[in-house]
Structure 1
Amino acid sequence: MTDRKHELAGNLAKVEERIVAACAAAGRKREEVTLIVVTKTYPASDVRILSELGIRHVAENRDQDAAPKAAECTDLPLTWHFVGQLQTNKVRSVLGYADVVQSVDRVRLVGALSKEAVRRERELGCLIQVALDADEGGRGQRGGVGPDGIEELGEIVARAEGLRLDGLMTVAPLTGPYAGREQAAFERLMDLSTALRRSHPAANMVSAGMSADLEEAVAAGATHVRVGTAVLGVRAGLG
């Protein structure tokens, strides 16, 4: 086993232990939580190793990095998630590899995604990104639609040709009433998910929690956690 594969295997084992413990503490089954490894800034060689180690879900947040990497990994049995703020001029490229876009936060983006999905004759999974730090009717610092905009945007996604409304995503906010209160933030997201599922029962995916707060996300009921640093480490020069 190469040094890098040994390192990633060890890190994955530690993350797995954390998820197992968090599920046990929450009275949940381990299979209720899917690990998505955020591979942003890391090379295709790491993605290949992760696949060898059994990872099936990876996430990227910058198309210019993700597109060539995904092209090198087309032979791997992976589901690719796009988790960054997405400009409409990048939609065509992103739909070349992404199976799920977790950062849907505005009507114009829905239109662009739908048009490209139809052109490619495929279905794209979509999560509404929720900004828990948004002003009423506004958007958050990291993108996302405020809680009061979820129902309307969800309806638009659900009706859009080529798109599938899969659920909700959030990033623990750095400002506002939930700053430093990850557990409360993720519980609020679960409440919003429950409300969305009344109209869209199949939209049951809840993506929340990262390396520092995956336990809080699992405790709240998240179905997917997005972990980068705890698996891949901190890249030199990136802090």
Structure 2
Amino acid sequence: MTMQPTPVGPDRRAELAAGLARIRTRIADACAAAGRDRAEVTMIAVTKTYPAGDVLGLAALGVTDVGENRDQEAAPKATEVAAAGVGVRWHFIGQLQRNKARSVVRYADVVHSVDSVRLARALDAAAAVGRDRPLDALVQVSIDGDPARGGALPDSTDPDRGLDRVADALADAAGLRLVGLMAVAPLGWEPERAFARLAEVATRVRQRYPQATAISAGMSGDLEQAIAHGATHVRVGSALLGMRPTLR
């Protein structure tokens, strides 16, 4: 039997509303500064380590898109939220192991972190039996090209991790839809430099795959710079929900 999430109390509801108002203002101001339509940017509320009740509270405030990093937390949380009769669009944004593909395709609407041909194939195989519609997928880009970290490698012909190979694998998969690119600004890089690099890569990918229009970039500390360089999705956690609880 699925547990019903505990609804947030009035104090927490007020905190969420205040955080949401601040983020919406920041996004609107960043779009205005960049000469962009506010409707072009989707905010993803990153709720990792926060309870399902916070998701319900955010949904009641009009939040439609929710992001999670770990399947072992996201799967039961998505079940709880659905059991409460609330529908949100779930984005899986963390590093994903292939053995979790069958679980993720059951609840996720979008996977942002596809960084290898093998992962693309695992998701495609899982989607064939676990879904009744294609799964939207983004290629995670390694901005600095460090193979030790997550992300497909631009300007690489590696058969598994080369960015073009990963994009091809997603575009060719019957159970997936290539919708764009995702990246995180590497440590030590100025956000402006990182997101300018991502914009260059995105332009090149769209020449081959015009449908790959999504750019998932920017978090609580650098969403303005990401929007200035074309981000269509920003992933906001602490600035929206407060200081993150400690993982156990």
- TM-score under structure 1 normalisation? 0.93
**C-alpha contact 1:26 1:219 (8 A) present in aligned 2:** yes
The aligned residue for residue 147 of structure 1 is: 154
Q: CA deviation at 1:150?
A: 1.7
Q: CA deviation at 1:146?
A: 1.4
Q: Which of these residues, 159, 171, 192, is aligned with residue 172 of structure 2?
A: 159
Q: Which of these residues, 72, 83, 103, is aligned with residue 93 of structure 2?
A: 83
For 2:12, what is the secondary structure of its paired residue?
helix
Name structure 2 gaps, 5 residues minimum: 1-8, 156-161
Q: Which of these residues, 210, 219, 222, is aligned with residue 213 of structure 1?
A: 222
Q: 1:54-133 maps to which residues of 2 (within 5 A)?
A: 54-74=62-82, 75-120=85-130, 121-133=132-144
Residues of 2 paired with 1:140 and 1:24: CA distance? 37
**C-alpha contact 2:50 2:245 (8 A) present in aligned 1:** no
Residues of 1 paired with 2:215 and 2:91: CA distance? 13
For 1:96, what is the secondary structure of its paired residue?
helix
Residues of 2 paired with 1:112 and 1:152: CA distance? 15
Residues of 2 paired with 1:67 and 1:194: CA distance? 34
Two-structure CA RMSD over aligned residues (Å): 1.2
Name structure 1 gaps, 5 residues minimum: none
The aligned residue for residue 21 of structure 1 is: 29
Q: Which of these residues, 196, 200, 208, is aligned with residue 191 of structure 1?
A: 200
Q: CA deviation at 1:132?
A: 1.0
The aligned residue for residue 6 of structure 1 is: 14
Q: CA deviation at 1:211?
A: 0.1
**C-alpha contact 1:131 1:140 (8 A) present in aligned 2:** no
**C-alpha contact 2:117 2:165 (8 A) present in aligned 1:** no
Residues of 2 paired with 1:101 and 1:205: CA distance? 12
Q: CA deviation at 1:181?
A: 1.1
Deviating above 4 A after TM superposition, structure 1's stretches of 4 or more consecutive aligned residues are none
For 2:45, what is the secondary structure of its paired residue?
strand
**C-alpha contact 2:141 2:163 (8 A) present in aligned 1:** yes
Task: State the Cα deviation string for residues 189-215 of structure 1 (Å, max 9, x = none).
Answer: 111111111111111000000000000
Task: State the Cα deviation string for residues 166-225 of structure 1 (Å, max 9, x = none).
Answer: 100000101xxxx33111111111111111111111110000000000000011110010
Residues of 2 paired with 1:51 and 1:76: CA distance? 8
Residues of 1 paired with 2:86 and 2:171: CA distance? 29
Task: State the Cα deviation string for residues 128-149 of structure 1 (Å, max 9, x = none).
Answer: 00011224xxx252x1111122
- TM-score under structure 2 normalisation? 0.90
2:181 is the alignment partner of 1:168: yes
Residues of 1 paired with 2:50 and 2:245: CA distance? 11
Residues of 2 paired with 1:49 and 1:161: CA distance? 36
For 1:59, what is the secondary structure of its paired residue?
strand
Task: State the Cα deviation string for residues 42-71 of structure 1 (Å, max 9, x = none).
Answer: 000000000000000000000011011000
The aligned residue for residue 5 of structure 2 is: none
Call closer, same or farther: CA 1:140–1:31 in 2, change over 3 Å: farther
Residue range with higher mean Cα deviation, 205-214 or 181-190: 181-190
Equivalent position amino acid for 2:178 in 1: L
Task: State the Cα deviation string for residues 143-170 of structure 1 (Å, max 9, x = none).
Answer: 1111122222101110011000010000
